[in-house]
Amino acid sequence: MHELGVVFYVVKDVKKVAEENHVEKVSAVTLEIGEVSGILHDYLTDCWNWAKKKEPLMEEAELKIEQIEAVTFCEECQKEYPTVEHGKICPYCGSENTYLLRGNEFLIKEIEVSD
């Protein structure tokens, strides 16, 4: 379960940003997670709920997840298509000369603070 390791890095980064900005309480963290990133949202949320209790700065912080849809580009026909639905083979021309444009990201989008 690499979700716990991911949560540790998020907590570390949020703590650093909070410290730099003299923030005493974080109320929410929004993550953008790619559809094919391999991160399981339910596991990530469970790990978040466990880890946040260990940090006074974040003990009440909500985790918000926004999914980034996976999109693949075909170099043969120059079209984009949904990766999960069609995989590596282009549904328009049948080419395997494709690559992932987006959908593998993992980003901290927003940190909300309490007054």
Q: What are the structural domain ranges in the chain? A: 3-69+103-113
Q: For 59-109, write each residue's pLDDT tens digit.
A: 999 999 999 999 999 999 999 999 999 999 999 999 999 999 999 999 999
Looking at residue 19, its pLDDT comes to 96
Q: CA 43, CA 33: separation in Å to the nearest integer? A: 13
pLDDT tier, 114 (very low <50, low <70, confident <90, very high otherwise): confident
The pTM of the full predicted model, rounded to 2 decimals, is 0.89
Supply the mean pLDDT for the chain: 96
**CA torsion angle for 6, 11, 41, 81 (degrees, to 10)?**
-70
Contact 29, 10 (CB under 8 A): yes
Looking at residue 2, its pLDDT comes to 84
Q: For 24-63, write each residue's pLDDT tens digit.
A: 999 999 999 999 999 999 999 999 999 999 999 999 999 9
* % pLDDT > 70, the chain: 99
Q: CA 16, CA 32: separation in Å to the nearest integer? A: 19
Q: CA 77, CA 73: separation in Å to the nearest integer? A: 9
Q: Is 47 annotated as a binding residue?
A: no
Q: Which CATH class is domain 3-69+103-113?
A: alpha beta
